[in-house]
Amino acid sequence: MSSNPFSNPWAPPFGVPPYDLIRPAHLPDAIDRGMREHNIEIAAIVNNAEPPSFVNTVEALERSGALLERALNVFSNLLSSIGSDELQAIETEFAPKLSQHASGISLDPALFGRVDMLYRQRAALGLDAPSLRLLERHHLGFIRAGAHLGAADKLRMAAISERLAVLHAEFGQNVVHDEREWHLPLVAADLDGLPDFVREGAQNAARARGHDGYTITLSRSLIEPFLTFSRRRDLRQIAYLAFIARGEHTGPHDNRRLIPEILVLRAERARLLGFKDYAAFRLADTMAATQDNVERLTGAVWSAARHAAAAERDRLLLAASADGINDRLEPWDWRHYAERVRLSEYAIDEAELKPYFVLENIQQAAFDTANRLFGLSFHAMEGLPLYHPDVRAWEVRDADGHVGVFIADNYARPGKRSGAWMSSLRDQQSLDGPVSPIILNNNNFSQGTPTLLSFDDAGTLFHEFGHALHGLLSRVRYPSQSGTSVRRDFVEFPSQIYEHWLAVPETLRRFARHHQTGTPIPDALIQRLLAARTFNQGFATIEYTASAILDMALHTHPDPATLDVAAFEREVLDRIGMPAEIGARHRPAHFQHLFAGAGYAAGYYSYLWAEVLDADGFGVFQAAGDPFDPALAARLRRILESGDTEDPMALYVAFRGEQPGIDALLRHRGLTRMTTVGC
């Protein structure tokens, strides 16, 4: 037995990584060995003397790289969840190596030749629909990587990929650096307006940094409540300006110097592949397909949201005038006065509401919803070695037995990446026998005793658990079609539609229980909560849509080498009429969706696109009069099971019965300017 845990099979029955044995020092060897083994497997495909067949080429590709994938899944998990200097050093070392490895495979002419031959013969191969789609998607992947280009252009594509890998890693590390280093110490006199749960979160954050007293960090789960409740306008300003300045401090961690180079390289890659710009390249393989379709959606939503936000601003200014603010609101004022207006108009007080949303209960609500919709049950796995004491795991079962393992890492901590995300430690597949998934949810809730969530936090937990179900319920043969391996603007549909079940009154009555008394949330409070759901949606929609529009503008810039990032941001926001009182949800220098990787580059609109689907799709359950309607749940489950075996719009239409329109989204958000736009 090797001393490196990656050299040995992982413990049955479920094969969860042995985190008690894994050390950062094990990762470089595992990744190196994984790349070597992968190259040997690719060489065996290329050098196979038999004519190309689906089995000896496409299925062989599906089987290749298992050790490398296992090592990278664990590494990515630890890097984002722990984020130590040692792990970041490994990322810096291996980002270019992994890019070289990937390019060596995707640009291999002999390998592409075999796949291309099968693609040209595909109609005569007698493949079933999932296998045919797999062949077509593999072929498209090679084309989009540049496998059809001449030798010189291939070399340039490989060099672009390698440099981008380095820049993406550096960008993400710079944001983590700023989030880890900045904090705002508070003393008792600074706590005016802060409810107990915010004070406790600030006290825990101080302890985590070895300080006494209280501190506000750049974790969204702490800074947003601070901006909401603090009556100290001066401190709100300091905190807000620090939050939006992540990644743009002059010096070695300044991301503004990285963005132009990233955009230049992406634009060059797109042109080499025959596209006018990077946005056109990315959108060609999405449901949206074209920039025009994206802009029709964002334009319609933007227009309605600006109208709503203007009315919201006027209501907030009336409240602010009581504090002597008579001219204009600042971005660090909006959340504070929105909360005061919400309390006044809807009798919804976050401090009254939050005691009913205990983390463990809301996690159980997500489990119960999955049970009622899909027949899943969740069984705690006690004593399982995991990578941090806060992390918990459950075995997932259905009527047929074991489904997979679900792991939750819910708390913010120094070094952990901000935000919330789902990842996979092992994907479901059945190519050579059943392989069950191991799925991980990360959140960044401020830890307390108990941990209390805002309604938005609870929605985040349901959102990420919707992604988790997409991975857990996958029922596909081939690994690259598993779970969330779907088009970028479809991947958010399962997560966003799942959020709707949090607001089902039956769910709230069962699981929103007061942390001290255990009494269920009163029906009157539920009614006020649901009535207030469209409150402040002009602000929320503006905040998000501005970032989506900025993303598209950055990736269609005609000459990004000359880009002054801050000036361009101001120019775009001025052009679309960005309200001065509202800031974009993500500014370029900390926009990790775009620049810490290419996952959402020219694709941040995807959340809005998916919301058209989820608002329309949940409307089917509402029309049926039963949010747990068994027939509809079975049709929804088929989407989650199918992964990338079918076209996403075909899957949606099979569930819904017709294509969606934007009206359901506007109604859901309370944006009353009704415009019909196809999706």
Q: Is residue 566 part of a domain?
A: no
Based on the fold, state whether residues 137 and 188 are members of the same structural domain. no
Looking at the fold, whether 479 and 365 belong to one and the same domain comes out as: yes
Structure tokens at 442: 């990360």
| pLDDT value of position 672 | 67
- What pLDDT score was predicted for residue 92? 97
In a domain, 485, yes or no: yes
Q: State the average pLDDT over residues 61-85.
A: 97
Catalytic residue among 312, 464, 581, 646: 464
With beta carbons less than 8 A apart as the criterion, state whether 515 and 358 touch: yes
> Which CA distances in Å does 287 have to 256, 452, 592, 648, 649?
31, 38, 23, 8, 7
Do 117 and 207 reside in the same domain of the chain?
A: no
Q: Dihedral (C-alpha) 132, 134, 139, 140: value to the nearest 10 degrees? A: 110
Cα-to-chain-centroid distance, residue 594: 12
676 falls in which pLDDT band (50, 70, 90)? very low
Residues 192 and 53 both lie in one domain: no
611 belongs to the catalytic site? no
Mean pLDDT, rounded, for 54-78: 98
Distance CA 666, CA 53 (A): 49
What is the per-residue pLDDT across 591-608, written as a single tens digit (0 to 9) for each? Answer: 999 999 999 999 999 999
CATH code of the domain containing 47: 1.20.1050.40
Say yes or no: 365 and 476 in one domain.
yes
Count the domains in the chain. 3
Nearest to 367 by CA among 513, 472, 448: 472
- Tens of pLDDT, residue by residue over 235-290, are 999 999 999 999 999 999 999 999 999 999 999 999 999 999 999 999 999 999 99
- Residue 125 located in a structural domain: yes
Among residues 244, 262, 278, which one ends one of the domains?
244
Q: What is the structure's pLDDT at 677?
A: 37
Helix axes 233-244 and 331-346, enclosed angle (nearest 10): 120
615 occurs within a structural domain: no
Same-domain pairing of 118 and 206: no
- Final residue belonging to a domain, choices 208, 226, 244: 244
Ramachandran category for residue 402: left, alpha or beta (phi over 0 → left; psi -120 to 50 → alpha): beta
pLDDT, tens digit (0-9, with 9 covering 90-100), for 459-489: 999 999 999 999 999 999 999 999 999 999 9
Q: Residue 474 in 3-state DSSP?
A: coil
Residues 210 and 78 in one domain: no
Number of H helices, E strands in the chain: 27, 7
Could you give the CA distance from residue 395 to residue 403 in angstroms, rounded to a whole number?
Answer: 8
- For residue 501, being part of any structural domain is answered with yes
Amino acid (1-letter code) at residue 471: G
**Do residues 96 and 212 both lie within one domain?**
no
Give me the mean pLDDT over the 301-321 stretch: 96
Do 364 and 433 sit in the same domain of this protein? yes
The pair of structure tokens assigned to 373 is: 């919709």
Is residue 470 in a domain? Answer: yes
Is residue 51 domain-resident?
yes
CATH number of the domain enclosing 452: 1.10.1370.40
pLDDT of residue 3: 87
Average pLDDT over residues 136-158: 98
Q: Which of 507, 542, 568 is the last residue of a domain?
A: 507
532 burial type by CB count under 10 A (0-12 exposed, 13-18 middle, 19+ buried): middle
Region 632-638 average pLDDT = 98
Who's near 199: CB < 8 A, 6+ residues apart? Answer: 191, 214
**Which element (helix H / strand E) includes 654?**
helix 648-656
| Strand 401-411 relative to strand 438-445, pairing | parallel
**If DSSP codes are grouped into helix, strand and coil, which group holds residue 264?**
helix
- Determine phi and psi for 509, rounding to 5 degrees: -65, -35
Residues 99 and 224 in one domain: no
- Rounded CA separation 410/389 (Å): 11
Task: Quickly state the pLDDT bin for 326 (edges 50, 70, 90).
Answer: confident
Indicate whether 67 belongs to any domain. yes
Percent above pLDDT 90 for the chain: 94
Which domain, by its residues, includes 387?
357-507
User: What pLDDT, on a 0 to 100 scale, did the predictor assign at position 679?
Assistant: 39
> Are 466 and 364 within one domain?
yes
Q: Are residues 494 and 370 in the same domain?
A: yes
Mean pLDDT of the residues in the chain: 96
One-letter identity of residue 271: R
Instruction: Give the model confidence (pLDDT) of 345-391 as tens digits.
Output: 999 888 889 999 999 999 999 999 999 999 999 999 999 999 999 99
Which pLDDT tens digit goes with each residue over 404-420? Answer: 999 999 999 989 998 99
